[in-house]
Amino acid sequence: MDELDLQQITLQEGQKLVQKAREAVELYLSNYQKPQALAGSIFEKNFGVFVTLNSYPDMELRGCIGFVNPIKKLGESVIESAIAAATNDFRFDPIQKEDLNKIVFEVSVLDKPKLLVCPPEKREQKIKVPKDGLIIEYGGFSGLLLPQVAAEYKFSPKQFLEAVAQKAGLPARMYLSSSANIYTFGARIFYEESPKGKIKEKKLIL
């Protein structure tokens, strides 16, 4: 997958992804069933995807799970990610059916992560905030932060690299290690303004 593929997703298709994510959670919490996958050419392509659940209106994170690599069809992976974010994010209590009227859904469609190839001391200069999401791998540790995290917290490139290292359970400056691999990826992000409300594309600015 390259950036051109990611840009082929229309707003209407992004809206369908968010609607399907909500439908999947509602159906699963009602009777443990899953809805049919979305049909159409873009939904049958393999993309990475993350589904983020936030409480409304205070916008506190309630779950975020997904597929980093494009190993499944988008129409299927958005369903699996949504259900997992609602029921299987160990950081939070599982979402209950009665919670859904106070939850907003966000879907991030990812392009394929690219290894950042440069000397470690040049990494701060090579990443583009808030365009890039980050992944760090070091030994058995790994961590990921979506691009919107940098925008939300107004991170500098250095702060974003430190944050992804800490997300992996590593010291903040471990991103400077030559043994650490850093990957960047882009994303298209679609979200509900309010529960079951208007769905828009998120434009990231610092």
161: which 2 tokens?
Answer: 């690299």
Sign of CA dihedral 50, 190, 185, 206: negative
Q: Render pLDDT for 114-137 as a digit per residue (tens, 0 to 9).
A: 999 999 999 999 999 999 999 999
Q: How would you label 26-48 residue by residue, b for 16+ Cβ within 10 Å and e otherwise?
A: eebbeeeeeeebbeeebbebbbb
**What range does the domain containing 13 cover?**
3-111+186-201
Cα separation, 82 vs 84, whole angstroms = 5
Q: What does pTM read for this prediction?
A: 0.94
The reply to whether 99 and 166 lie within a common domain is no
The reply to whether 191 and 167 lie within a common domain is no
The answer for residues whose C-beta is within 8 angstroms of residue 80's C-beta and 6 or more apart is: 67, 72
- Considering the domain boundaries, does residue 206 fall inside one? no
Domain count, the chain: 2
CATH of the domain at 49: 3.30.700.20
Rounded average pLDDT over 59-67: 97
- Considering the domain boundaries, does residue 118 fall inside one? yes
- Considering the domain boundaries, does residue 7 fall inside one? yes
The reply to whether 60 and 159 lie within a common domain is no
The reply to whether 104 and 54 lie within a common domain is yes
Sign of CA dihedral 63, 148, 76, 137: negative
CATH of the domain at 137: 3.30.1490.150
pLDDT value at 39 more than 60: yes
